[in-house]
Amino acid sequence: MAERTGSELHGDESLQITGLSSAGTGRRGDIGFLDGDGKTPVEISADISALFVNAANVKHVPESVAYLVTSVPRYAHGAAALAMYQPRHLVWHGSEAISPEASIHEEAIIAPGAVIGPGAVIGEHSVIGANAIIGPGVQIGRNCSVGPGASVYCALVGDNVKLLAGARVGETGFGVMPGPKGAEDAPHYGRVILQDHVTIGANSCIDRGVFDDTIIGERTKIDNLCQIAHNVVLGRSVLVAAFGGISGSVQVGDGAMLGGRVGIADHVKVGEGVSLAASAGLFRDIEAGETWGGTPAKPIRQWMREVAWLQKNANPKKTG
């Protein structure tokens, strides 16, 4: 790995690497990375075997962990990942639209033009629409509906799930990292997990995780034209109205309701039962049960008072 990525190795050069992870979730045999200015504390798994780091983060590396120093740790980590793994749908080929290695229940319905990859499983009474694509290894449960032109990769889909026309499940997210020649796309090796009774609207996108999974909880309903980024976790019975955009690694609690055009910044935690008014832009965590609105979002009464004050002072009554 040091030779392939041009990194400087510190530690046991015979160490065997068997997996990839983030620094905080690594297991024995995994390699992760540390990037940034090194000024803030970082979480490093006690079990991780090795790390790519820049010079600023060398001080954070535990004594028991081998490390490779490079100016572009995440890029080097991605290069190592590509040498070890490649998503199956990127190398999938063959002349059959429906692979003989797929497992399709005899009572499932496959419309003309649908493409189903090797190792895919389609459950009882599920319907795959015209020109839909089910990638290699995708598991789809019973009584599901995949609309025309939808695509599903790197995903586990429960029972009674609906994907409307043009939905995109399991594509890579907007992970951009600096490389030697400029911006590079970060590889994604996680999955999308859609639990039972989930609905994904037409032309909505659910990105797969980078290392961990993107998870959409039971009975969550996502409207048309929504974007759910990598590593997002939505709880049970969450409602997301049209044009909603949720950035990477956001966590949303059970029963939350997001109005149309709501946007949430990355790594934000939204409590159970929270309501966000239409067009709200959320940049910080919210406790359970609260209702917020505005951009930047704030408690709804505070936001409405500010709007009323602005309207009053921007349009003062004329006096004779």
Domain annotation covers residue 58 = yes
Examine the fold and report which residue of 39, 57, 85 is the final residue of a domain before the chain moves on: 85
pLDDT value of residue 40? 85
Whether 56 and 173 share a structural domain: no
pLDDT value of residue 176? 85
Whether 259 and 181 share a structural domain: yes
- Asked whether the beta carbons of 165 and 128 are under 8 A apart, the reply is no
Please report, for the domain that includes residue 17, its CATH number.
3.40.1390.10
* Residue range 76-92: mean pLDDT, rounded: 85
Domain annotation covers residue 141 = no
Whether 295 and 201 share a structural domain: yes
Domain annotation covers residue 110 = no
Residue 11: domain span: 2-85
Q: What is the dihedral of CA 252, 253, 259, 263, to 10 degrees?
A: -20
Between β-strands 121-122 and 103-104, what pairing exists: parallel, antiparallel or unpaired?
A: parallel
Q: pLDDT (tens digit, 9 = 90+) per residue, 54-66?
A: 999 999 999 889 9
Examine the fold and report which residue of 85, 103, 123 is the final residue of a domain before the chain moves on: 85
pLDDT value of residue 184? 85
Q: How far apart are the first and last CA of the chain?
A: 80
Domain annotation covers residue 188 = yes
Residue 309, helix vs strand vs coil? helix
Residues noted as catalytic: 230
On the 0-12 / 13-18 / 19+ scale of CB atoms within 10 A, 208 is: buried
Domain annotation covers residue 232 = yes
Contacts of 197 (CB under 8 A, 6+ apart): 158, 159, 160, 161, 218, 219
This prediction has a pTM of 0.89
Distance from C-alpha of 317 to C-alpha of 151, rounded to nearest angstrom: 57
Domain annotation covers residue 147 = no
Examine the fold and report which residue of 85, 104, 130 is the final residue of a domain before the chain moves on: 85
Whether 63 and 176 share a structural domain: no
Whether 163 and 246 share a structural domain: yes
Whether 168 and 283 share a structural domain: yes
Banded model confidence at residue 319, pLDDT cuts 50, 70, 90: low
Whether 164 and 295 share a structural domain: yes
Domain annotation covers residue 233 = yes
Domain annotation covers residue 133 = no
How many domains does the chain fold into?
Answer: 2
Please report, for the domain that includes residue 206, its CATH number.
2.160.10.10
Whether 76 and 175 share a structural domain: no
Angstrom CA distances, 90 to 85, 93, 303, stand at 11, 9, 47
Distance from C-alpha of 37 to C-alpha of 73, rounded to nearest angstrom: 12
